[in-house]
Amino acid sequence: MSKVTTADSQPVLKNFTPYKTKKGEEYMNKKQKDHFRNILLSWRQQLMQEVDRTMSHMQQDAANYPDPADRATQEEEFSLELRTRDRERKLIKKIDGTIESIAQDDYGFCETCGLEIGIRRLEARPTADKCIDCKTLDEIKEKQLGS
C-alpha cells in the first residue's frame, strides 16, 4: 500500500483491495469489520514508520550551519516535518479509537443519525464517523458560523 495525501493534507491509504459485497450480505459483518481493521492497522503502521523516519532524519541531518540562511532553512524544514508528524499523531489516536469502535461493534454507523455510513465511504475515509449527509450538514453549518 502506498500513501497519498488529500487536498486537506490528510494521508490516506491507496492500493488496497476494495471489499466486494455479496447480495443479501449483512452490513458490518465479521468479514467487513476484518477488512476495515486490516486497512486501519496498515495505515497506522505506515504512519508509525513515518515517525521513525522523521526521528532518524532529524538526528542524522541536524547540523549547526554557520550561515544563518542555511540554518533557517533547516529549522523551517524540521518545523514542517514536526507539524506533519503532530497531525499524524492525532490521526493515529483517531485510528486507535476507530479500531476500538470496531471491537465494540459501533463501527460503520453514523454517530449523528445512526444510519449506515457505507462501505465505499469508509474505504475512502476509514475513520469516518458520520454519513455523508450529516457530514455535509456539519460543513454547511461550520461555513455559516465561520462567515
Q: Name the grid cell of 74.
A: 533547516
Q: Is residue 120 part of a domain?
A: no
Return the exposure string of 36-47: e unless at least 16 CB atoms fall within 10 Å of the residue's CB, then b. bbebbeebbeeb
Q: Is residue 62 part of a domain?
A: yes
Q: Is residue 125 part of a domain?
A: no
Q: How far apart are CA 147 and CA 144, in angstroms?
A: 5
Which of the given ranges, 27-36, 46-55, 68-77, has the highest pLDDT on average?
A: 27-36
Q: Are 135 and 110 in contact (CB under 8 A)?
A: no
Q: Is residue 112 part of a domain?
A: no
**What domain range includes position 96?**
2-14+27-107
Average the pLDDT over 60-78 and give the result: 82
How much is the pTM?
0.79
Q: Which residues contact 118 (CB under 8 A, 6 or more apart)?
A: 131, 132
CATH number of the CATH domain containing 67 = 1.20.120.910
Higher pLDDT, 70 or 63: 70
The C-alpha R_g of the chain, in whole angstroms, comes to: 19
Q: What is the pLDDT of residue 11?
A: 53
- Of 107, 135, 86, 106, the residue nearest 40 (C-alpha): 107
Q: Is residue 142 part of a domain?
A: no
| Count of domains forming the chain | 1
Q: What is the pLDDT of residue 7?
A: 38
Q: Is residue 144 part of a domain?
A: no
Q: Is residue 123 part of a domain?
A: no
Q: Is residue 83 part of a domain?
A: yes
Question: Does residue 37 have a pLDDT over 60?
Answer: yes
- Cross-strand pairs, 3: 13
